[in-house]
Amino acid sequence: MFPVLLFLFILVPIIEIALFVQVGGVIGLWPTLLLVLLTAVVGASLVRSQGIATLMSVQDRLNKGELPAQQIVEGVMLAVAGVLLLTPGFMTDAMGLVVLLPGPRAALAKFLMAKVKVQSMHQSGFGGGFGPQGPFSDRDPFHRDQNGDVFDGEFERKDKKDEKEKKDNSDDDDQHRLH
Protein backbone atom coordinates (compact mmCIF):
# COMPACT_ATOMS: atom_id res chain seq x y z
CA MET A 1 0.00 0.00 0.00
CA PHE A 2 2.84 2.40 0.84
CA PRO A 3 4.45 2.15 -2.63
CA VAL A 4 1.10 2.97 -4.25
CA LEU A 5 0.62 6.05 -2.05
CA LEU A 6 4.19 7.16 -2.68
CA PHE A 7 3.65 6.77 -6.40
CA LEU A 8 0.44 8.84 -6.23
CA PHE A 9 2.11 11.58 -4.18
CA ILE A 10 4.76 11.88 -6.85
CA LEU A 11 2.57 11.32 -9.92
CA VAL A 12 -0.39 13.59 -9.08
CA PRO A 13 1.66 16.81 -8.65
CA ILE A 14 3.58 16.09 -11.85
CA ILE A 15 0.31 15.67 -13.78
CA GLU A 16 -1.15 18.81 -12.19
CA ILE A 17 1.93 20.89 -13.10
CA ALA A 18 1.82 19.60 -16.67
CA LEU A 19 -1.87 20.51 -16.91
CA PHE A 20 -1.20 23.99 -15.50
CA VAL A 21 1.50 24.54 -18.13
CA GLN A 22 -0.72 23.28 -20.96
CA VAL A 23 -3.84 25.25 -19.93
CA GLY A 24 -1.76 28.35 -19.12
CA GLY A 25 -0.16 28.16 -22.56
CA VAL A 26 -3.60 28.12 -24.20
CA ILE A 27 -5.57 30.66 -22.11
CA GLY A 28 -2.82 32.52 -20.25
CA LEU A 29 -1.66 32.79 -16.63
CA TRP A 30 -4.40 34.93 -15.09
CA PRO A 31 -7.34 33.09 -16.66
CA THR A 32 -5.76 29.81 -15.52
CA LEU A 33 -5.44 31.05 -11.93
CA LEU A 34 -8.98 32.46 -12.05
CA LEU A 35 -10.27 29.11 -13.32
CA VAL A 36 -8.57 27.26 -10.45
CA LEU A 37 -10.08 29.67 -7.89
CA LEU A 38 -13.50 29.45 -9.54
CA THR A 39 -13.53 25.64 -9.39
CA ALA A 40 -12.61 25.79 -5.69
CA VAL A 41 -15.45 28.22 -4.88
CA VAL A 42 -18.06 26.42 -6.99
CA GLY A 43 -16.90 23.06 -5.66
CA ALA A 44 -17.14 24.20 -2.05
CA SER A 45 -20.71 25.43 -2.53
CA LEU A 46 -21.69 22.21 -4.33
CA VAL A 47 -20.15 20.10 -1.57
CA ARG A 48 -22.13 22.10 0.98
CA SER A 49 -25.47 21.67 -0.81
CA GLN A 50 -24.88 17.99 -1.57
CA GLY A 51 -23.74 17.42 2.01
CA ILE A 52 -26.92 18.96 3.39
CA ALA A 53 -29.02 16.81 1.04
CA THR A 54 -27.12 13.70 2.16
CA LEU A 55 -27.56 14.63 5.83
CA MET A 56 -31.31 15.04 5.29
CA SER A 57 -31.38 11.63 3.61
CA VAL A 58 -29.53 10.08 6.57
CA GLN A 59 -32.04 11.60 9.01
CA ASP A 60 -34.96 10.40 6.89
CA ARG A 61 -33.61 6.85 6.82
CA LEU A 62 -32.97 6.91 10.57
CA ASN A 63 -36.52 8.14 11.21
CA LYS A 64 -37.81 5.19 9.17
CA GLY A 65 -35.72 2.84 11.30
CA GLU A 66 -33.41 1.93 8.43
CA LEU A 67 -29.62 1.83 8.43
CA PRO A 68 -28.29 4.70 6.26
CA ALA A 69 -25.07 2.93 5.26
CA GLN A 70 -25.16 4.13 1.64
CA GLN A 71 -25.74 7.73 2.72
CA ILE A 72 -22.94 7.61 5.29
CA VAL A 73 -20.49 6.32 2.67
CA GLU A 74 -21.67 9.04 0.28
CA GLY A 75 -21.14 11.63 3.03
CA VAL A 76 -17.54 10.52 3.45
CA MET A 77 -17.13 10.64 -0.32
CA LEU A 78 -18.46 14.21 -0.34
CA ALA A 79 -15.81 15.17 2.21
CA VAL A 80 -13.16 13.65 -0.05
CA ALA A 81 -14.66 15.51 -3.02
CA GLY A 82 -14.41 18.74 -1.05
CA VAL A 83 -10.72 18.15 -0.38
CA LEU A 84 -10.13 17.32 -4.05
CA LEU A 85 -11.92 20.49 -5.19
CA LEU A 86 -10.05 22.72 -2.76
CA THR A 87 -6.71 21.26 -3.86
CA PRO A 88 -5.40 23.42 -6.69
CA GLY A 89 -5.30 21.53 -9.95
CA PHE A 90 -7.42 20.46 -12.88
CA MET A 91 -7.15 16.70 -12.42
CA THR A 92 -8.14 16.82 -8.74
CA ASP A 93 -11.01 19.19 -9.63
CA ALA A 94 -12.24 16.77 -12.30
CA MET A 95 -12.09 13.86 -9.84
CA GLY A 96 -13.92 15.92 -7.19
CA LEU A 97 -16.64 16.96 -9.64
CA VAL A 98 -17.22 13.34 -10.68
CA VAL A 99 -17.70 12.37 -7.03
CA LEU A 100 -20.11 15.30 -6.58
CA LEU A 101 -22.46 14.02 -9.28
CA PRO A 102 -25.17 11.89 -7.60
CA GLY A 103 -25.08 9.04 -10.15
CA PRO A 104 -21.36 8.29 -10.12
CA ARG A 105 -21.22 8.89 -6.37
CA ALA A 106 -24.00 6.34 -5.69
CA ALA A 107 -22.37 3.77 -7.99
CA LEU A 108 -18.97 4.29 -6.38
CA ALA A 109 -20.51 4.05 -2.89
CA LYS A 110 -22.19 0.73 -3.78
CA PHE A 111 -18.91 -0.56 -5.17
CA LEU A 112 -17.03 0.44 -2.00
CA MET A 113 -19.70 -1.05 0.24
CA ALA A 114 -19.49 -4.35 -1.64
CA LYS A 115 -15.71 -4.42 -1.03
CA VAL A 116 -15.94 -3.74 2.71
CA LYS A 117 -17.02 -6.41 5.16
CA VAL A 118 -18.75 -5.04 8.25
CA GLN A 119 -18.99 -7.25 11.30
CA SER A 120 -21.24 -6.36 14.21
CA MET A 121 -19.94 -6.28 17.76
CA HIS A 122 -22.31 -9.09 18.75
CA GLN A 123 -20.90 -11.39 16.07
CA SER A 124 -17.26 -10.51 16.57
CA GLY A 125 -17.13 -10.82 20.32
CA PHE A 126 -15.58 -7.36 20.57
CA GLY A 127 -14.23 -6.82 24.06
CA GLY A 128 -14.81 -10.44 24.96
CA GLY A 129 -18.20 -9.70 26.50
CA PHE A 130 -20.61 -9.52 23.60
CA GLY A 131 -19.95 -12.63 21.58
CA PRO A 132 -20.90 -16.22 22.25
CA GLN A 133 -17.44 -16.91 23.66
CA GLY A 134 -17.58 -13.99 26.14
CA PRO A 135 -18.01 -14.19 29.91
CA PHE A 136 -21.72 -13.33 29.65
CA SER A 137 -22.56 -16.10 27.20
CA ASP A 138 -24.91 -17.82 29.66
CA ARG A 139 -27.01 -14.66 30.06
CA ASP A 140 -29.00 -12.69 27.55
CA PRO A 141 -27.62 -9.12 27.54
CA PHE A 142 -31.07 -7.75 26.67
CA HIS A 143 -32.92 -9.49 29.54
CA ARG A 144 -35.52 -11.07 27.30
CA ASP A 145 -38.29 -13.21 28.69
CA GLN A 146 -39.07 -16.73 27.40
CA ASN A 147 -40.96 -15.32 24.39
CA GLY A 148 -37.94 -13.29 23.24
CA ASP A 149 -39.56 -9.94 24.04
CA VAL A 150 -37.54 -7.05 25.36
CA PHE A 151 -39.00 -5.11 28.25
CA ASP A 152 -38.57 -1.36 28.30
CA GLY A 153 -38.58 0.55 31.53
CA GLU A 154 -38.21 4.03 32.91
CA PHE A 155 -36.35 5.27 35.91
CA GLU A 156 -36.15 8.48 37.85
CA ARG A 157 -32.99 9.66 39.53
CA LYS A 158 -33.50 11.15 42.96
CA ASP A 159 -30.94 13.76 43.91
CA LYS A 160 -30.35 15.20 47.36
CA LYS A 161 -31.55 18.55 46.03
CA ASP A 162 -34.93 17.02 45.06
CA GLU A 163 -35.27 15.43 48.51
CA LYS A 164 -34.49 18.76 50.18
CA GLU A 165 -37.10 20.57 48.05
CA LYS A 166 -39.73 17.96 48.97
CA LYS A 167 -38.85 18.33 52.65
CA ASP A 168 -39.05 22.14 52.42
CA ASN A 169 -42.41 21.91 50.66
CA SER A 170 -43.78 19.54 53.29
CA ASP A 171 -42.55 21.92 56.06
CA ASP A 172 -44.41 24.79 54.34
CA ASP A 173 -47.57 22.67 54.16
CA ASP A 174 -47.27 21.88 57.87
CA GLN A 175 -46.93 25.57 58.73
CA HIS A 176 -50.01 26.47 56.63
CA ARG A 177 -52.04 23.84 58.47
CA LEU A 178 -51.01 25.29 61.82
CA HIS A 179 -52.31 28.80 60.99
Q: What is the pLDDT of residue 127?
A: 47
Element (H, E) at 9: helix 2-27
Give the contacts of 87 (CB within 8 A, at least 6 positions apart).
93
Q: What confidence tier does 124 reach under pLDDT thresholds 50, 70, 90?
A: very low
Residues 71, 68: Cα–Cα separation, whole Å: 5
**CB–CB of 71/81 below 8 Å?**
no
Nearest Cα to 82, choosing from 48, 33, 130, 117? 48
pLDDT of residue 10: 92
Residue 151 has pLDDT above 70, yes or no: no
The pLDDT score that the predictor gives to residue 107 is 92
The answer to whether residue 93 scores a pLDDT higher than 80 is yes
Q: Tell me what pLDDT residue 155 has.
A: 65
pTM: 0.58
